[in-house]
């Protein structure tokens, strides 16, 4: 028996979950990687999983949150500097992720499955710390919008995709790698960006790729030390998308004033600023008036990353809960041998695996956007997955925390941080209702988009009775939704429809995977009649012990 095991037995506490391989110990991830076409990345992911499971790496996540970023607006002589300083742990996390290409892999690695592979890397990284994931995601997601303006892309894309992290506050021309942010939200409107009042007027000439002068205010700008931001502003031709660099072409500071950093309930390691734009120079991306359409290319990818990050949070929560319950004894036996606790743990594990399956299917669609049906599927999977996975995460984190009892509420464990991170993904990048409205819009604009969902669901037809019944009901609801108000359907029912689609898709993915035990349990747990929304209410007959075993990291205390 090791010293750690002995001390755990003495105090009846679980050892800290560290120094394990977060990839190799995740059976659901290994299966999803192969299923979705990126098995070739397994060796590299195994090395990365060894890194992200190390105690020193996990510690970085704690340090980055214990020492939040600080804003200096002016220097000692009263000049504006607008400088945010982060703890070295934040730089180590973000810099390390960039050096491993988590911000850019699919843009530089043309192998089929590179989006799936990147999602898997991100999934491992996000389990350790969520805040630095924000600039990582925005840098990754900026590329499709940047490509709308080829002259700007020619300058910026090589810098954005470089595996170089350079946090210095100097012009991009002096760097060999840059990071990107996004500035859409204003005080008077976040979801409704058409209410933006920030104004852009031409500097010399107007038109795509030209420089404009921007004045206004942005209410939420995360990662404000990014080298450039994609932003929305009202140009003479309507709401338009711009590239706003931190520095002007002549090497002087651009008119970006950080007024304050928000005090947030989660995502604490990441700075989110209120920003005044004072004669800032910004370059028009695409045509005037096409701002929303152009920036939505970026937003689709940040929404996708929200799915992956929330699924990662669930994985970490389920790993922590199953790990703890294997060591803790109550009333004379292991916590995970008590039937009611087995019900809770197995339910958390099922939710986590289903969230991962849906995220990785979306990643495969992203890998094959040249195929019209995969593009149509990705269009629908984004709002469905962003809505459902992000909505499930807070309750999941809370329930996992409770599995650890009082220790789950203590800040030296990761559980409070997982809990505080969970609602953030649901709110930003389009809150829950906005995802449901987006789904309705997509269906009503292009009713045949539903054919790709139907084809996806058909793959599992006949494999499970609960699933077949769910699909029959879903068919009717979707047909009505596509007809919209003609069928008396209003967006009032948007959440029900989106949830129903998410559950159907998760079930079909699990049914088509090679683990019948998980698939059948999921269908019974989520699709059979009379199921409750709370975790730990699985119906009788679910093989909980086997599900828990699959989810739990290896039982080693050394
Ligand atoms: C930590 C954090 C970081 C952020 N970072 C950034 C950033 O870097 N860049 C950026 O641009 N933004 C950022 N945001 C802003 C975020 O994207 C917005 O807060 C979000 O989109 C919601 O906008 P809002 O706050 O204006 O709320 P509102 O638009 O006022 O919405 C309030 C609520 O009403 C619902 N709602 C709105 N319209 C409807 C409708 N028609 N029907 C039904 N329900 C509706 C929404 O779903 C939401 O629940 C950040 C937010 C947070 C919390």
pLDDT, tens digit, for every residue of 124-172? 999 999 999 999 999 999 999 999 999 999 999 999 999 999 999 999 9
DSSP type of residue 230: E
pLDDT above 70 (res 453): yes
Task: Choose between 519 and 557: higher pLDDT.
Answer: 519
Ligand 1 atom nearest the C-alpha of 434 is 47
Instruction: Match 């090395």 to its residue by tokens.
Output: 47
What is residue 556's predicted lDDT score, i.e. its pLDDT?
Answer: 67
Instruction: State the residue for tokens 């192969």.
Output: 34
Q: Which ligand 1 atom sits nearest the alpha carbon of residue 192?
A: 29
Measured from the Cα of 231, ligand 1's closest atom is: 11
Region of 538 please: left (phi>0), alpha (psi -120 to 50) or beta. beta
- Measured in residues, the chain has a length of 558
* pLDDT (tens digit per residue) in 188-215: 989 999 999 999 999 999 898 999 999 9
Burial class (CB in 10 A: 0-12, 13-18, 19+), 399: buried
Q: Give the DSSP per-residue string, 83-133.
A: EEE--HHHHHHHHHHHHTTTTTHHHH--STTHHHHHHHHHHHHHTT-STTH
Q: Are 379 and 442 in contact (CB under 8 A)?
A: yes
What percent of the chain is modeled with pLDDT above 70? 97
Q: pLDDT value at position 260?
A: 98
Question: Is 298 within 8 Å of 182 (Cβ atoms)?
Answer: yes
Nearest Cα to Cα of residue 326 among 17, 102, 118: 17
Residue 39 is classified by DSSP as: G
Residue pair 505/383 in contact (Cβ under 8 Å)? The answer is no
386 closest CA partner among 318, 301, 489: 301
Q: Are 128 and 62 in contact (CB under 8 A)?
A: no
Q: Which of 531, 105, 132 is nearest to 351 (CA)?
A: 531
Do 494 and 440 form a contact (C-beta atoms < 8 A)?
A: yes
**pLDDT above 60 (res 557):** no
Give the SS3 label for residue 241: strand
Average of pLDDT values for 111-129?
98
Name the CATH topology of 173-290. Butyryl-CoA Dehydrogenase, subunit A; domain 2 (2.40.110)
Percent of the chain at pLDDT exceeding 90: 91
β-strand partners of 218: 275
Ligand 1 atom closest to 181 (CA):
8
What is the DSSP code string of 451-482?
Answer: HHHHHHHHTTTTS-HHHHHHHHHHHHHHHHHH
493: tokens are 């029912």
Alpha-carbon span 477 to 450, nearest angstrom: 11
Tell me, in angstroms, the distance from the centre of ligand 1 to residue 429's CA: 7
- Residue 485 pLDDT greater than 70, yes or no: no
Please tell me what DSSP assigns to residue 254. P
Query: Could you give the CA distance from residue 377 to residue 297 in angstroms, rounded to a whole number?
Result: 15
Residue 558 has a pLDDT of: 41
Distance 443 CA to ligand 1 centre (A): 22
Chain centroid, CA 456 distance in Å:
23
- Per DSSP, what are the bridge partners of residue 283? 211, 243
Confirm or reject: Cβ of 183 under 6 Å from ligand 1. Answer: yes
SS3 for 152? Answer: helix
Mean pLDDT of 182-193: 96
Q: Which residue(s) pair with 258 in the sheet?
A: 275
Q: Would you say 393 and 426 are in contact if contact means Cβ atoms under 8 Å apart?
A: yes
Give the C-alpha separation, 387 to 460, whole Å.
23
Q: What are phi and psi of 23, to 5 degrees?
A: -90, -55
Place of tokens 């590299």: 44
Assess whether pLDDT exceeds 60 at residue 555. Answer: yes
221 alpha carbon – ligand 1 mean position (Å): 12
CA distance readout (Å), 222 to 62, 67, 194, 432, 523: 20, 17, 20, 20, 39
Residue nearest to atom 16 of ligand 1 (CA): 428
**Which residue has the least CA distance to atom 33 on ligand 1?**
431
Q: What is the chain's Cα-based Rg? A: 24
* pLDDT tens digit sequence for 492-540: 989 999 999 999 999 999 999 989 999 999 999 999 988 888 999 999 9
Ligand 1: centre distance to CA 189 (Å): 8
CB 500 within 8 A of CB 470: yes
pLDDT value of residue 446:
84
pLDDT in tens, 30-83: 999 999 999 999 999 999 999 999 999 999 999 999 999 999 999 999 999 999
pLDDT for residue 477: 86
Is the minimum distance from the CB of 134 to ligand 1 under 6 angstroms? no
Pocket lining: 178 vs ligand 1, CB cutoff 6 Å? no
Q: Is 457 exposed, middle or buried (0-12, 13-18, 19+ CB in 10 A)?
A: buried
Average of per-residue pLDDT values in the chain: 95
Q: What is the structure's pLDDT at 444?
A: 85
Range list for CATH 2.40.110.20 in the chain: 173-290
pTM strictly above 0.95: yes
- Which numbered atom of ligand 1 lies nearest the CA of 431? 47
CA 483 to chain centre: 31
Is the shortest distance between the CB of 182 and ligand 1 below 6 Å?
yes
Q: Choose which residue among 231, 427, 440 to substitute to test ligand 1 binding: the one with the highest number of ligand atoms within 8 A of its C-beta.
A: 427
Indicate if ligand 1 lies below 6 Å from the C-beta of 302.
Answer: no
User: Does residue 442 surpass a pLDDT of 50?
Assistant: yes
Residue 417 CA, distance from chain mean position: 16
């Amino acid at each position: 028996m090791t010293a750690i095991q002995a001390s755990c037995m003495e105090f009846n506490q679980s050892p800290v979950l560290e120094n394990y391989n977060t990839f190799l110990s995740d059976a659901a991830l290994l299966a999803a990687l192969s299923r979705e076409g990126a098995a070739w990345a397994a060796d590299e992911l195994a090395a990365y999983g060894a890194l992200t499971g190390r105690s020193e790496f996990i510690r970085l996540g704690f340090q980055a949150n214990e020492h939040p970023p600080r804003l200096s607006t002016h220097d000692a002589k009263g000049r504006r500097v607008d400088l945010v300083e982060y703890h070295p742990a934040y730089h180590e996390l973000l810099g390390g992720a960039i050096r491993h290409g988590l911000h850019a892999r699919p843009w530089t690695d043309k192998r089929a499955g590179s989006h799936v592979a990147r999602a898997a890397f991100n999934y491992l990284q996000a389990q350790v710390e969520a805040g630095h994931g924000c600039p990582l995601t925005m840098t990754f997601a900026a590329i499709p919008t940047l490509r709308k303006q080829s002259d700007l892309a020619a300058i910026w894309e090589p810098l954005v995709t470089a595996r170089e992290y350079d946090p210095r506050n100097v012009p991009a021309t002096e760097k060999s790698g840059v990071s990107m942010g996004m500035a859409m939200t204003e005080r008077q409107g976040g979801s409704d960006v058409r209410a933006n009042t920030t104004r852009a007027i031409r500097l010399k000439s107007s038109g795509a790729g030209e420089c404009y002068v921007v004045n206004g205010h942005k209410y939420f700008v995360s990662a404000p030390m990014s080298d450039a931001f994609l932003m929305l502003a009202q140009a003479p031709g309507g709401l338009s998308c711009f590239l706003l660099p931190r520095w002007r072409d002549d090497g002087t500071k651009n008119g970006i004033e950080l007024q304050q950093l928000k005090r947030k309930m989660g995502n604490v390691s990441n700075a989110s600023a209120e920003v005044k734009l004072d004669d800032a120079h910004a370059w028009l991306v695409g045509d005037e008036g096409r701002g929303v359409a152009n920036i939505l290319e970026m937003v689709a990818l940040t929404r996708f990353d929200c799915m992956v990050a929330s699924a990662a949070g669930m994985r970490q929560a389920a790993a922590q809960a199953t790990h703890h319950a294997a060591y803790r004894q109550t009333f004379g036996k292991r916590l995970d041998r008590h039937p009611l606790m087995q019900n809770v743990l197995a339910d958390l594990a099922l939710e986590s695996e289903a969230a991962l399956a849906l995220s990785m299917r979306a990643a495969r669609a992203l890998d094959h956007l040249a195929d019209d049906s995969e593009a149509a599927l990705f269009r629908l999977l984004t709002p469905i997955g962003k809505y459902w996975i992000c909505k499930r995460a807070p309750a999941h984190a809370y329930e996992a925390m409770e599995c650890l009892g009082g220790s789950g509420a203590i800040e030296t464990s990761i559980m409070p941080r997982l809990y505080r991170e969970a609602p953030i993904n649901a709110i930003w990048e389009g809150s829950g209702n906005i995802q449901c409205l987006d789904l309705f819009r997509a269906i009503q604009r292009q009713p045949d988009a539903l054919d790709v969902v139907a084809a996806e669901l058909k793959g599992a037809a006949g494999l499970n009775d609960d699933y077949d019944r769910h699909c029959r009901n879903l068919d009717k609801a979707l047909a009505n939704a596509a007809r919209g108000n003609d069928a008396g359907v209003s967006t009032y029912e948007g959440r029900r429809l989106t949830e129903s689609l998410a559950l159907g898709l998760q079930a079909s993915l699990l049914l088509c995977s090679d683990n019948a035990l998980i698939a059948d349990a999921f269908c019974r747990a989520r699709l059979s009649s009379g199921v409750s929304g709370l975790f730990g209410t699985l119906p009788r007959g679910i093989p909980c012990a086997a599900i828990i075993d699959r989810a739990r990291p290896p039982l080693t205390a050394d």
